[in-house]
Structure 1
Amino acid sequence: MEPTPKISPSLAEKVIRLYARPDVRAAVEKINDDYLYWSDVKYRPLPDGMSAEDLWAVVKFSRRVNQVFEWPKYHITVSVTNFMQRVCHDLDMNFGGSWGNGNLLPEEGRERYLISSLMEEAISSSQMEGAVTTRRVAKEMLRKNQSPKDRSQQMILNNYRAIQYLVEHKENTLSEAFILDVHRLMTFKTMKNTMDAGRFRSANDDIRVVNEITGEVVHTPPAASEIPVFIEALCEFVNHEQDSVFIHPIIKAIILHFMIAYVHPFVDGNGRTARALFYWYMLKQGYWLMEYLSISRIIYRSKTSYEKAFLCTENDGMDMGYFINYHLKVMSQSFKELREYIQRKKRSISETALLPKMHGLNRRQIEILTVFNVTPNKIMTVKEVQNRFGVSDPTARQDLVSLVEKGFLTEIEINKVKKGFVKVNSVQREERKIKN
């Protein structure tokens, strides 16, 4: 990555004068909305009488003016732009307002969507760290409560269980023991050395972050000897409000994510643990809509941008604004996709509103038939219905048997001890009507 140009102290007076110009302020505002790096800034249209280096100097000045936090040990700084404040406000309103009114997600699909979102988060976060499996196979394993067949599936199962653990322990304070517990859950049966699960790396562990394509070392984390002091300071930062300045809870959660990933306190599983702790802190701060969002799914789709945000931060004097800006955009996109899902869901509910009256179906049975409409060749089990809807074995079985009796499904043998249910096609249904 191209290094940023050095800014001479002698430019200070000129920078302040330029910053006072409305046209320069407008150009800087647009640059900071996307929190652009030097290699992008230098190709943008320049205000009259300015060089690219001049513009960059003013951009850096504006970011220092808006600096709200500094971690002196690692020279990390956090600047909050107007764009960041707008996004945080929008997320506050959406996460608290619309959802609090109960109007955002229809009751009919709430539980099913929650379970699906937890699965999506577990799968995407694991895939980012190298888990190789399809979403269909992974979801099938989780829904049917199957034992993982390989390391990739074990990673996903671990992630799923860890997320459930975090939901149950959202009132916890951050501590060394809690961080180690989360890591232990995340890495169970997936570490080369099983003793590495739930422990910080030591001086004997040579940990570096390497570009998978080029083999280039892109990040060398701080020495292992610094980890205990770092963890203590991080817990203090997360558990207490800062006296000198207010840091928005969403930005604080993102800082937590970044710091764990940057210091890399573990031999492996740092990214998964960092994203999980971000998720936990958001829930702890009352953003309970987080349970219904899959942040890692968006990050996984934009993995290059995710990695670039880290690199820009390191290459520009540990300015964390790049990572915060990226992360807020991910959250906005995730919320947008939730809204789009809800709109589709409401249309689906409207289209199937007559089914209960015509056939006496409950909400779960309508959902089951919707699944079969999407995947006509699917074989569904009682266990899958249990996991998908969070109901008991008798309830799940009764839902399926009732659909068999109404002619929508038929029961088949999967093996000598296990049975499943498949969709009855329209021809078979007509034949049944004639026979009856």
Structure 2
Amino acid sequence: MKIVVPPPLEPNPFQKVASDSPDQLLGYLDFHTPLDKKGRYQPFDELRHRVPQGLDAAVAWSFVRNARNRQQSYLISLGEPENHCSFMLTPSIQKAISETDRNTTSAYLEWIGSKIDEKAQLKYLLSDLIEDESISSSQLEGAATTTRVAKEMLKRNRKPRDASEKMILGNYRMMQFAWEKRHEPLSIDLILDLHKIGVEGIDDDEYKPGVFRRAADNVHVVDPEGEIVHTPPPANNLKNRMRDIVSWANYDHENADEKSYLHPLIKAIVLHFCIGYEHPFRDGNGRVARALFYWYLFRSDFSAFRFIAISVLLKKAPIQYGKSYLYSETDQMDLTYFIEYQSKIVVRAIEKFKKAYKDAALEIERFNRWLWDSGLYKKLNDKQRTVFQVAKSGDVQEFTIRNVEHNLGCSYNTAAAVLNGLVKQKLFYREKNGREWVYFMKGKDKIIESWRK
């Protein structure tokens, strides 16, 4: 995860070019803008490749940085010695704010519910989506358990079998705790409790659940090749610095004057960065950072984020996730890089969430028409219709009595009757997995063929 660190800045790039190479001034002036022509907020690591031959990349960078500094807004101070963090509001960040405001509020969730007649299916899908962040966040940190096995463990409330499953269960409990504590202000105790709930029982000697790191811990962040990419600020005075972060998070930036205003999404992302940068724990910092991102959005009444998994997308490009930290840390603590990257992830995650419920609504409409035309509708009870519709949508590939019991909120015997009834109706088939039956929907063609016989 190596990057090229920005070169030292020219104090007055205009004067230097006017003095040393005045004939190139127009070429350099093309770089006197925060964004490139495609609207990108590029780090020096990427911009250096786009500097025309004959121009000095270091001087061009000074022009870019000069333009950016004029539009930076102060955010928070981190580390020791103190580093002032700032950012610039870019089109990508504004788009993420707009998508968040339009599609993730508690009122929006209620509106979704009013548009989907089959409330049971919506509840089933949301119950499934709520697990995705816990699983993918753990996988991002190295958990080797597959998503299918992890979902089976959570739905069956089965005890974890190894360290990877313990990570996933801990993360799930941590996210549940973040939701439960959404009406409370941030505190040192809440951060410590998040960590303890998330990592306790995995390897307590390694993680030290609910305890800030100490100087003797010698904590570093390494890349996949084992190279150190970040050394956190010293452990001395860490608790005081964490108190400053807590005070900043609790300050009401939404009712402040225009100069201090911060949208909750930006604050949530910055809070994510703060934990990653300060690295207050021996291990598990990434999970706590992402949990606090969600906690702040829950607190700000963006309830749909309970079903929006950013880690699913972060996991697909972990190098870029890491680089967004490094670009900010090595370029005057300009958090725009990190906020931009997270904003793009948020937009994609919201789109995925919207697609899930839109597909569910369309599937309900198509399926109900088929049910009616085939005569099958009268043969299925409400719970059987719900499970069949979920299966037909493709969002869930396999079912067990335990996970149907969990998702439908019914008894074990009722869940068993639902699944066995679907087998009897030639819609499902089942296979033995150890001591447990696993149920699958037949292919559409096979279902139609079965009903024609």
- Please state whether the residue corresponding to 1:301 is helix, strand or coil: coil
Residues 1:77 and 1:195: Cα distance change in structure 2 (over 3 Å): closer
Cα distance in 2 for partners of 1:432, 1:102 equals 34
Q: Which of 38, 56, 70 matches 2:44? A: 38
Q: Which of 72, 76, 79 matches 2:87? A: 79
Q: Which residue does 1:388 correspond to in 2?
A: 407
After TM superposition, the structure 1 = structure 2 runs for residues 282-297 of structure 1, keeping only pairs within 5 Å, are 282-297=297-312
Q: Is the 8 A contact 2:34 2:41 kept in 1?
A: no
Q: Is the 8 A contact 1:28 1:59 kept in 2?
A: yes
Structure 2: gaps (5+ residues): 19-23
Cα distance in 1 for partners of 2:69, 2:110 equals 37
Q: For structure 1, which segment, 301-310 or 49-58, has the greater mean C-alpha deviation from structure 2 after superposition?
A: 49-58
Cα distance in 2 for partners of 1:366, 1:238 equals 45
Cα distance in 2 for partners of 1:113, 1:14 equals 61
Q: Is the 8 A contact 2:73 2:88 kept in 1?
A: yes
- Please state whether the residue corresponding to 1:77 is helix, strand or coil: strand
Cα distance in 1 for partners of 2:363, 2:220 equals 49
Q: Is the 8 A contact 1:295 1:331 kept in 2?
A: yes
Q: Is the 8 A contact 2:33 2:63 kept in 1?
A: no
Report deviation, 1:94: 2.5
Q: Which of 138, 158, 164 matches 1:146? A: 158
Q: Which of 237, 240, 254 matches 1:226? A: 237
* Percent of matched pairs sharing the same residue: 29
Residues 1:183 and 1:19: Cα distance change in structure 2 (over 3 Å): farther
- TM-score, length-normalised on structure 1? 0.86
Q: Which residue does 2:58 correspond to in 1?
A: 53
Cα distance in 1 for partners of 2:322, 2:240 equals 26
Q: Is the 8 A contact 2:28 2:55 kept in 1?
A: no
Report deviation, 1:290: 0.4
Cα distance in 1 for partners of 2:112, 2:393 equals 28
Report deviation, 1:342: 3.2
1:102 pairs with 2:112: yes
How far does the alpha carbon of each residue in 1:143-182 deviate from its partner, in whole angstroms, 9 at most, with x for none?
Answer: 2222111000111111112112222221111111111111
Q: Which residue does 2:10 correspond to in 1?
A: 8
Q: For structure 1, which segment, 189-198 or 403-412, has the greater mean C-alpha deviation from structure 2 after superposition?
A: 403-412
Q: Is the 8 A contact 1:154 1:189 kept in 2?
A: yes
Q: Is the 8 A contact 1:68 1:79 kept in 2?
A: yes
Cα distance in 1 for partners of 2:77, 2:288 equals 24
Q: Which residue does 1:204 correspond to in 2?
A: 216
Residue type at the aligned position of 2:246? C
How far does the alpha carbon of each residue in 1:345-399 deviate from its partner, in whole angstroms, 9 at most, with x for none?
Answer: 2332222113554333356423433565689xx7743211022344443543443
Cα distance in 2 for partners of 1:21, 1:132 equals 51
Q: Is the 8 A contact 1:32 1:59 kept in 2?
A: no
Q: Which residue does 1:341 correspond to in 2?
A: 356
Q: Is the 8 A contact 1:386 1:392 kept in 2?
A: yes
Cα distance in 1 for partners of 2:269, 2:452 equals 59
Cα distance in 1 for partners of 2:387, 2:214 equals 50
1:29 pairs with 2:44: no
Residues 1:399 and 1:251: Cα distance change in structure 2 (over 3 Å): same
Q: Which runs of 4+ in 1 moved over 4 A?
A: 12-16, 18-23, 97-100, 370-375, 409-416, 418-434
Cα distance in 2 for partners of 1:55, 1:23 equals 8
Cα distance in 2 for partners of 1:105, 1:21 equals 55
Cα distance in 1 for partners of 2:64, 2:411 equals 58
CA RMSD of aligned residues (A): 3.6
Report deviation, 1:317: 2.1
Q: For structure 1, which segment, 248-257 or 198-207, has the greater mean C-alpha deviation from structure 2 after superposition?
A: 198-207
Q: Which residue does 1:181 correspond to in 2?
A: 193
Residue type at the aligned position of 1:224? A
Q: Which residue does 1:169 correspond to in 2?
A: 181
Cα distance in 2 for partners of 1:396, 1:141 equals 17
Q: Is the 8 A contact 1:76 1:320 kept in 2?
A: no
- Please state whether the residue corresponding to 2:237 is helix, strand or coil: helix
Count of aligned pairs: 429
Structure 1: gaps (5+ residues): none
Residue type at the aligned position of 2:112? G
Residue type at the aligned position of 1:235? V
